[in-house]
Structure 1
């Protein structure tokens, strides 16, 4: 429930010197193809008119608003009226896309030729003239089935753009000491339409204490017991964890304000353990599984990144440290020759225990080993540990630089089915050309060690989301294939 539903309105346009019937017929074919291929998605065919003039534009705009559309597809059934169609996009308050009709048959290229291939060029030029953001597919001209696929690919992009306009990030506490890595100017988030509510962890602690004895605690404890099963290694801490989960959910309810969607940037050390008496990792994992991403260490951009991935994939995501190398002996015996990756293509992604149980091969709720080196073990209980499920992943992050410039990276790869023999929520990741990507995107781009992980290949959609919200194309890094040199890469190396 923590994300919008897209209702997309299709408005067909026609240049007045072309047969209007082309746009009418082609629009009907497009809508029919879409409903057959994607019946679960909400699409609205604007019936009032084919837009040929500014008056038609106003009529169509009022109709799709009345129908409750929050995304728009401008469909060039023929060449199209470049002014009216771009004014429609300008005045529509929501994400929009442009697609165009291909010609159907060689036997109908006189009275039945639409020239939308040509019209798309003029549309793109007029969009720039009016400073209008619109999504144009990789190849935006096609038949009804092709255009239906293009619209389907736009839906998750639109969902993310809509969601950011109604998102609030709730954070607790300043970043831990000696942890400047996740510091980034928040001005860019306000530019995106995101609201941020920053609180002290003392406020959170007060609210937590007020929830002591809450009658709902035992219902949550029962849920946790069922989820953990045999992995419930610290049952004595479950009531406190349930109390904390209720605290966060009630805080969201009471502080969401006029915003519809929420993500949390939480704090988990150094004083959290000694005052609360546990670590929040397992609760963070549970909320993330419920569609409310929770980042660690007050990582605000990490929370926004996680939320974007949640909305795009409609699935749980996680936030991991790009953490440690795979030992050479482990690579030689368990990866080399079995998987087509070099040692430098691999690394381990890790966090203390924040990954949803459904994304782990198996899990145990235990204590946090790193924290327990300097603290009593009993106050470090609450991590969810286990190897991350093997399969496709997308590692990505949206970030502002120290000088307030918005940038992002995306890299697709996989989690290998190789036991980590380690602790925490952890997996052995393989990304083609990771070594070069690590040096010339992550290090050169001054990214922090936190990266968001979506479970599947969503690079294409994330790239378009980042472009749409204003990340410069030159500032979207990716793992370039072998033989394609990064700007900062030494050509003699």
Structure 2
């Protein structure tokens, strides 16, 4: 389900143009907006024409805790209006221009697009760059989705247990920069707090039974299966207790050494139930997955670009056995294995389903933030490897994609989801003032 947001809606006009036609168009727009899921629209139903009434409107909307503001250019209008609203509200703005109506006696009736031009220029030259423009009969829902991303991040409760994985310096973040850019405060817990979390026997039994039903468990011991079911229950209880949106784990080497198994398979199971747990302490990976979920993407997979084949033009998106188990291709045998960590696994092994995919990485270099975005298509393959993986062809040659990752110093994880989720992130990046790498 998409992130819910609160959006204000106003319509500007001037009586020297056909403001009555604009009012009729605005009535229809109000009805259409109400059909959009997971949005609370705070609509001011009458046209805004004069400066003083716009100041009053700003005060009304200021009490509504808005995530964004739609300013419809019903007709050309005074340049004061958007500035008066922005002065008070300071939220991202959608400048919405309407298509011109048929001419009436040789006179332009709305001149709406010129009004949008005026507003965009005034905002830009006053130092406000967090606006987006659309022209047409319907609202730009990609802009709404961009607001959902910002809202989900600002409301998120994220924690790291342990630290980043050993040697993965590139996954480190500056906590206050994350707070400044996205409003996220990061909590820290020790791994022992997860290990010692008390869980009900019924929860352990339920997860253990799920593992038996979903996976071929013949390659692991009964003790390993029991530990995996127990750990899944601990993850679930720990996140509920602390009300966490996402949890980043230092998943090695301590889990195998101190708990007795690696957490991969337990993470695969719990993630399939819409809990976000990421490996190797990758907080920005967790932020990326939260952002994907905000726009309606389901069960993100934090993947390594582990193999490239320039001749056949594909990449292998792989990780050691942690993908949500509901992303299975429906063909191969899903199995659990203990092939790594000196036989202390336990990992999920399966090929992921084919189809259109999108990649996202929220990534920092110092205090500079950027977004990596990529479209691709997952293609069928045999189960030749352990772990969880998908063969992908991108829109661009894989060599080009790889060079963009390497020469921009992007971290080696990206959130992968099924479907096309690119445009909202391009808008979000512009609102944030971030670079887009795609």
TM-score, scaled to structure 1: 0.80
Which residue does the alignment assign to 1:366? Answer: 336
CA deviation vs aligned residue, 1:68-120 (integer Å, no higher than 9, x gap): 7644311111113322223324433654322111112134652x611111111
What residue in structure 2 maps to residue 273 of structure 1?
A: 256
Q: How has the CA–CA distance of structure 1 residues 224 and 410 changed in structure 2, closer, same or farther, with 3 Å as cutoff?
A: same
Out of 267, 277, 280, the position equivalent to 1:297 is 280
CA distance in 1 between counterparts of 2:285 and 2:297 reads 17
1:157 maps to 2:137: no
Contact 1:245 1:283 in 2 (8 A): yes
Question: Residues 48 and 60 of structure 1 are in contact (CA less than 8 Å); yes or no, is this contact kept in structure 2?
Answer: no
Work out the CA distance in 1 between the residues paired with 2:8 and 2:345: 51
* Residue-by-residue CA offset, 1:314-358 (whole Å, 9 max, x unaligned): 3111111110234xxxxxxxxxxxxxxx62631111101121122
Matched, 1:350 2:318: yes
**Which of the residues 352, 375, 397 maps onto 1:433?**
397
- Residue number among 118, 135, 157 corresponding to 1:168 in the alignment: 157
What is the DSSP-based 3-state SS (H/G/I as helix, E as strand, rest coil) of the residue aligned with 1:136? strand
Pick closer, same or farther for the CA change 1:407–1:69 going to 2, 3 Å: closer
**TM superposition shift of 1:419:** 2.2
- Taking structure 1 as reference, are residues 43 and 106 closer, same or farther at Cα in structure 2, changes over 3 Å only? farther
Whether 1:118 aligns to 2:114 is: yes
How far apart, in 2, do the equivalents of 1:294 and 1:96 lie? 33
Whole-angstrom distance in 2 between the partners of 1:43 and 1:23: 23
Secondary structure of 2:298 counterpart:
coil
Aligned length: 433
Q: Where does 1:2-401 land on structure 2 (aligned, <5 Å)? A: 4-15=3-14, 17-34=16-33, 38=35, 40=37, 42=39, 44=41, 46-61=43-58, 63-64=60-61, 70-92=67-89, 94-107=91-104, 110=107, 113-137=109-133, 140-142=134-136, 144=137, 147-148=138-139, 150=140, 152-191=141-180, 192-207=182-197, 210-211=198-199, 214-226=201-213, 228=214, 234=220, 236=222, 237-256=224-243, 262-326=245-309, 343=311, 345-362=313-330, 364-371=334-341, 375=342, 377=343, 379-381=344-346, 383-401=347-365
- 1:70 and 1:93 in contact (8 A); partners too: no
Distance 2:169 2:85 in 1: 45
| Closer, same or farther: CA 54–247 of 1 in aligned 2, 3 Å | farther
Superposition CA RMSD, Å: 2.7
Deviations 1:15-70 (A, max 9, x none): 354443233112112234445xx464546362453222343234434555667764
Maintained 8 Å contact 2:357/2:420: yes
Distance 1:108 1:98, change over 3 A: farther
> Unaligned regions of 5+ residues in structure 1, if any?
327-341, 479-493
Q: State yes or no: 1:476 paired with 2:421.
A: no
* Deviation of the 1:271 alpha carbon: 1.9
Q: 1:129 to 1:287 in 2, by over 3 A?
A: farther
User: 1:250 and 1:130, CA in 2 relative to 1: closer, same or farther beyond 3 A?
Assistant: farther
TM-fit CA distance, 1:218: 2.1
CA positional deviation for 1:415: 1.0
Secondary structure of the corresponding residue to residue 406 of structure 1: strand
Distance 2:115 2:359 in 1: 37
SS in 1 for 2:118: helix
CA drift of 1:190 comes to 1.1
**Deviation digits for residues 114-163 of structure 1, max 9, x if unmatched?**
111111112112222444353424xx222x2xx23x2x222221111111
Q: What is the alpha-carbon distance in structure 2 between the residues aligned to residue 254 and residue 229 of structure 1? A: 28
The Cα of 1:368 is off from its aligned counterpart by 4.1
Query: CA shift at 1:297, angstroms?
Result: 0.3
